Amino acid sequence: MTGFALSRICGAFAAALLLAGPLGGAAPAAAEKVLRIANMGEPESLDPHKTSTTGESRILRQLFEGLVVHDPKANVAPGAAESWTISEDGLTYTFKLRSNAKWSNGDPVTANDFVFSFRRIEDPNLRAQYSEVLYPIKNAEEVNTGKTAVDQLGVKAITATTLEITLKAPTPYFLQLLTHTTGLPVSPKAIAEHGNDWVKPGRMISNGAYMLGDVKPQAFIKLVKNPQYWDAGKVTIDTVMFDPSEDRPAVLKRYRAGEFDIVTDLPNDQLGWLRQNMPKELHIAPYAGVYFYTVNVTRPPFNDVRVRQALAMAVNREVLVERITLAGELPAYGFVPDGTADYTSQKVAWAKMNQAARDAEAIKLMTAAGYGARKPL
């Protein structure tokens, strides 16, 4: 099975547990192979155009496959598209779909399915939370903000198996964007027949390695192997069970009792014990994410840039990652995580200052903004 991110939702690095041993217990090799995952959250939806969390993404990437995917080393690799070309000016991407790519009902996956899907996620009536991920596509922002019709989106089917995407400007990381869940296709037939209920078991049509088997809210989501998947012969796990429980200490106990094969998040206060006692099962994996706080910049005192900068400088990021989060996170000094492809980190100038110097500068900024030192009681 591909696509799982053993990671924390917020943070630059992730902590996860992976069981070392046969899947589904000690049953004979011929028995059903079941992978049991503690997913740490109930999905808001199984519609890839209406979701926003990594917990949902872990499920959706097994049900659906976009034009491109990530290989085990996080490089872009062929997915539903077997190949692609990029024009010399970097504006036109032409994807050749696999001739054997099929939906779970046996219908072929076509270029028009992707045209439908990209138009759907940019349709302002859908109110997709991550529609802006595809804004590099020509007219995507204009469509999503209601300034132009959806049929003006820069995506078109040249043939049944050839898709052309036109960008508004060269975007070197565009293929990486397409690995996001916003790039996953949905079945026009399923939506036409069932409306919003197309995401339910027995109604969902998907094109990934798995199909939706059963759902019990607050209990489990069951995925079963999709025999129509183009690479089904290499899918060795028969069933994947996702448990939505968010009680981290309880989930860890259940893992140790053998109820789970993978735990995707852990209580921070247990990391030291796990490193010492279960080092072969604890995996710390890179994850591109940033944990941050937002403030209302339209109201005092946050409408003053000096106050905002002072508060940002006063946050001791090093202490937070070294003594609080404890999972190897990196101090963040910008919104774009370190390691992002084709991006050179742009840290604020004061990132090189020690915390004492930052605090002193923060006090100067607050004083200049009219907030002096607090008088003793």
Written as tens digits, the pLDDT of the chain (377 aa) is: 322 222 222 333 334 444 333 455 444 446 889 999 999 999 999 999 999 888 999 999 999 999 999 998 889 999 999 999 999 999 999 999 999 999 999 999 999 999 999 999 999 999 999 999 999 999 999 999 999 999 999 999 999 999 999 999 999 999 999 999 999 999 999 999 999 999 999 999 999 999 999 999 999 999 999 999 999 999 999 999 999 999 999 999 999 999 999 998 888 888 889 989 998 899 877 777 788 888 899 999 999 999 999 999 999 999 998 888 877 788 888 888 777 766 777 788 899 999 999 999 999 999 999 997 665 54
Gap between the Cα atoms of 139 and 151, Å rounded: 10
Domain assignment present for residue 194? The answer is yes
Examine the fold and report which residue of 155, 181, 210 is the final residue of a domain before the chain moves on: 210
Gap between the Cα atoms of 96 and 83, Å rounded: 5
- CA-to-CA separations, 249 to 267, 270, 326, 369, in angstroms, rounded: 6, 9, 16, 45
Tokens of 332: 């963040």
| CATH, residue 68 | 3.90.76.10
CB 102 within 8 Å of CB 229 = yes
Instruction: Give the predicted TM-score (pTM) of the model.
Output: 0.81
Domain assignment present for residue 250? The answer is no
Domain assignment present for residue 245? The answer is no
Examine the fold and report which residue of 140, 175, 210 is the final residue of a domain before the chain moves on: 210
Q: How many domains does the chain have?
A: 2
Domain assignment present for residue 347? The answer is yes
Tokens of 156: 């078109």
Query: Which residues, 6+ apart, have CB-to-CB distance to 164 below 8 Å?
Result: 92, 93, 94, 95, 155, 156, 157, 158
Q: Which domain holds residue 199?
A: 41-210
